[in-house]
Structure 1
């Protein structure tokens, strides 16, 4: 009795045999030589071996591609004068290998048909790729900005004073983009995180308003650049010294007593700053006031002062020192010796040396340096002998 009328049981997806890897890649099998086809058939039956084969293949491909591509890019970068392309090629080496290698690992995990954590392992591989590019971009941005800062005459926007600000801004952008990509990879909705971060940010802003004020002041100081590292500044609050460090939160000064002073940027942003190292030229001017007695040869006085200024080793030759007669004083002819020096902190010592030389030369040439004199006039002397006046 034939069971032609018997109903055939429907097949479920679990009953359907898995399509072999070789059937999904028929072209690759056709390209393989006859000696390798038995090995491929073995991989077709054991998914773990197929996954390992894919990983090994991509590892070899990563080594070969990195070697050939980096060598080609280095050859191209050697023909240019800028060092930026050399930095980019050097920073491209690790993420290029990591991308190819871990992409192969992700494919191998998928082909291995693991019974557990396949999706998590694949996401982990992609996360490693993203982290590798973030790290390399961090390093590349720092090195490129430092290089451009050293040649800021060609790139006026990138200067040593703006490098920290630009470096921080670029790293923040990279961190935000990389974090967004990682959240998307792991299936996390970033909008909810951003909303939560906004609420937390408001609370943190109220709690750390002084710190944020210093940070924002640091941004404006770096942008406005009222001073730079190495400048000698005076503040209306009384602090003075050489700027040794400019940070986002504070600025450090080294005083003449070799004491380091750390000032919050919010204080400096609201203070009057006298930058003695500013201006169009690197030199600063010192003025030595000198008085000569009335009757002195003014030409001789000017020649002596000019010679003293020109002979001092730390007085700049360009601009040259000069002598000016300023006024007719109450008891002297007032002159000024003007000279230019490089370091503001040397002003006191150089002025001392100039005054010592001026006194010695004036004394040798017989030029009097006036000083306060008092003449006493006696209108009437008392009688000699103690004679008393009539009527006593």
Structure 2
């Protein structure tokens, strides 16, 4: 019986072989050209997103060139057991599909603190709704900027719905996130992200295989309507219903990009030709040129005739009078700590005159008085600019 049992080395070899076979099968779901195209899309869009995040956090943000692979969802669930933050991004214009961004919970806490202007970060605290709302807004800014780059790349308007953030594990995400439901494999695009010298981490973008193939197809112009036979871009495909394309040479991706560029160049040439033809249309009418004659304005009008209208025309217009007790400036993090009984110190001293405004324009200074249980203000000084205007 002992001779029939497998040794540990044989078991490891069998498991290793099975894993390698599975990875090979998964990687065959998208071709090398499609993988390169997805990497280029991610590189351009995330480059723009990094600029938007840098402006929002007031820190230098860098996102490296992406790594594209096809992963088994069950294997990902086994590898990533701790909770993470998933940001679900759905497209509403230009593209039909969605993708999920994966961030570490500690990175989300730091991003929230940076957005609130904090200089120290508490990573031991619990993740709150404020953290999820803050990272949703950050991703909304990032992906909104990325959509601008994608719009230029795909020559169509692309927009997203407001992202939704959730703290979740991969095991639960398989049943709750639309991107991972009823799917065995997923396209994983990995980026390395650094924020100043505060964050040095990795983020992931998960895209359904079908949607990834659709992105490549739209990028190559395979689904666009053409106006003439000269604008048709041919593709070597063995099945019309499939979105995968097999290419025979390594430089076929460059050729497809070049064909798209040439297509746009031909459109520009047609526009220029049309404009040039319109410029060449000339009329035979003769043109008469004359010197202009202007009326003399040497005589100044009499001053008594300048303002002869009655002030009664504007006498009934209401003007809002405001007396300002004082002002102060606080940071958002200080305002968030306010509660009942909090005292806010203003910039006015005791006994100092108050400012009086008419429709927001400073006109005078005054002192506080009490008239029949109501506050009032006695004018003590009129603004010089107000005097000059009147």
TM bucket by the smaller chain?
under 0.3
TM-score between the two structures when normalised by the length of structure 2: 0.23
TM-score between the two structures when normalised by the length of structure 1: 0.23
Q: Which structure shows the higher strand fraction?
A: 2
Using CA pairs below 8 Å that are at least 6 residues apart, which structure has the higher relative contact order?
Answer: 2
Q: Which has the larger radius of gyration?
A: 1
